């Protein structure tokens, strides 16, 4: 399947011999970021507990309650980028790095072709609560159908529990539970990063910022033998100024740009205070919130990055998705929203 795939394995603790499942971690220890977005993030509801549970049940049920949809909305853009890599650099597999991957959500959507509804229904009705029963049932469920796309997936998340689950459930080929806002990757992590040729990041900017991308981009793609170069698809809530993230990409030799005329719905506001504070933040950036955040939903922009040579192809592919996917034209074509 991956004839040229590097044989690299990150040793992660195997808990398969323990009967009780992995130990529950102290909560609130690491997710709240200290980065260039610390101040802006105060407007957002804190979800640390559900990011760090042993299984995805709580995360998915809370996200369903809020109509969370950004990863699924971003999926066709990520698939188009993966197909571009597969077509243009066929001698190396698509190896996707999902930044802020949570419980392997990007892999479930992109590689395994699940919808959010399918994922949530599975965890609500069929996935047992016990850790090993849950990872086993998830693995069996995913293996029931062939993956939608032939790719490897490397996940990065600050939540050790989320990464452990994603690995044990077969959603990830490698998992990195690190906070690259503060720490450098170790040798094994660098090896995985260097084999990645597609970076996706949905719903995580704010938690991660320029420091994480700088640390990743120093290594990404270095051992993927292609003239084509890595591509990146990111979403960022409109409350966040991404200019320093853009700078991190540009310093690493990428062209970084926003996809014009697309705003993707991310989720509903958790409460009135969040709604008020975030609308204030978005307006403070000079953006028009009418028909967008004022409708009760947080909206995100889509960003793409690639080398100067491939950027026109990437832009064309993203424009194609925007034109063709009816879901986007229905939900996000907002002619007069601020840019």
Residues that bind ligand SAM (CB under 6 A): 31, 33, 51, 70-71, 100-102, 105-106, 156-159, 162, 179, 181, 202-204, 207-208, 212
Q: What secondary structure letter does DSSP report for 71?
A: H
Q: How far is the CB of 264 from ligand SAM (least distance, A)?
A: 11
Task: Considering the complex, state which of residue 24 and residue 323 has its C-beta at the smaller distance from ligand SAM.
Answer: 24
Please state, in angstroms and as integers, the Cα–Cα distance from residue 336 to each residue in 79, 234, 266, 281, 296, following that order.
Answer: 28, 23, 19, 19, 18
Task: Considering the complex, state which of residue 185 and residue 229 has its C-beta at the smaller distance from ligand SAM.
Answer: 185
Q: How far is the CB of 156 from ligand SAM (least distance, A)?
A: 5
Task: Please give, one letter per residue, the 3-state secondary structure of 8-27.
Answer: CCCCCCCCCCCCCCCCCCCC
Q: How far is the CB of 125 from ligand SAM (least distance, A)?
A: 20
Task: Considering the complex, state which of residue 197 and residue 212 has its C-beta at the smaller distance from ligand SAM.
Answer: 212
Q: How far is the CB of 227 from ligand SAM (least distance, A)?
A: 30
Task: Considering the complex, state which of residue 157 and residue 293 has its C-beta at the smaller distance from ligand SAM.
Answer: 157
Q: How far is the CB of 41 from ligand SAM (least distance, A)?
A: 10
Q: Give the helix/strand (H/E) hosting 152.
A: strand 151-156
- Output the DSSP codes for 185-244: --HHHHHHHHT--EEEESS-BTTB-HHHHHHHHTTTTTTS--SS--EEEEEEETTS--HH
Q: How far apart are CA 31 and CA 207, in angstroms?
A: 8
Task: Considering the complex, state which of residue 170 and residue 203 has its C-beta at the smaller distance from ligand SAM.
Answer: 203
Task: Considering the complex, state which of residue 183 and residue 309 has its C-beta at the smaller distance from ligand SAM.
Answer: 183
Q: How far is the CB of 129 from ligand SAM (least distance, A)?
A: 20
Task: Considering the complex, state which of residue 107 and residue 311 has its C-beta at the smaller distance from ligand SAM.
Answer: 107
Q: How far apart are CA 74 and CA 95, in angstroms?
A: 18
Q: How far is the CB of 208 from ligand SAM (least distance, A)?
A: 5
Burial 15-34 (b: 16+ CB within 10 A, else e): beeeeebbeeeeeeebbebe
Contact 189/128 with Cβ under 8 angstroms? no
Contact 276/241 with Cβ under 8 angstroms? no
């Amino acid at each position: 399947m991956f004839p040229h795939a590097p044989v690299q394995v990150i040793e992660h603790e195997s808990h398969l011999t323990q009967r009780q499942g992995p130990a529950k971690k102290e909560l609130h220890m690491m997710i709240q970021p200290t980065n260039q977005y610390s101040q802006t993030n105060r407007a957002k509801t804190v979800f640390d507990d559900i990011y760090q549970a042993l299984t995805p049940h709580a995360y998915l049920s809370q996200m369903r309650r809020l109509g969370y949809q950004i990863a699924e909305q971003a999926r066709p853009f990520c698939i188009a980028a993966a197909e571009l890599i597969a077509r243009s650099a066929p001698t190396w597999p698509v190896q996707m790095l999902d930044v802020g991957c949570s419980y392997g959500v990007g892999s479930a959507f992109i590689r395994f072709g699940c919808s959010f509804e399918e994922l949530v229904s599975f965890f609500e009705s069929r996935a047992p609560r016990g850790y090993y029963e849950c990872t086993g049932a998830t693995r069996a469920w995913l293996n029931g159908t062939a993956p939608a796309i032939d790719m490897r997936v490397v996940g990065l998340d600050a939540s050790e529990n989320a990464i452990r689950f994603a690995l044990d459930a077969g959603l990830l080929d490698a998992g990195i539970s690190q906070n690259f806002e503060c720490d450098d990757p170790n040798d094994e992590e660098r090896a995985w990063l260097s084999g990645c040729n597609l970076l996706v990041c949905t719903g995580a900017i704010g938690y991660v910022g320029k420091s994480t991308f700088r640390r990743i981009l120093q290594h990404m793609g270095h051992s993927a033998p292609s003239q084509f170069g890595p591509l990146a698809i990111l979403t960022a809530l409109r409350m966040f100024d991404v200019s320093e993230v853009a700078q991190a990409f540009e310093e690493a030799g990428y062209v970084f740009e926003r996809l014009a005329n697309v705003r993707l719905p991310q989720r509903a506001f958790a409460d009135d205070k969040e709604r008020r504070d975030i609308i204030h933040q978005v307006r403070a950036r000079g953006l028009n919130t009418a028909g967008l955040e004022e409708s009760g939903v947080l909206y995100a922009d889509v960003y793409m990055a690639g080398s100067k040579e491939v950027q026109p192809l990437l832009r064309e592919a993203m424009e194609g998705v925007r034109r063709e996917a009816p879901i986007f034209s229905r939900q996000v074509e907002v002619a007069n929203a601020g840019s």
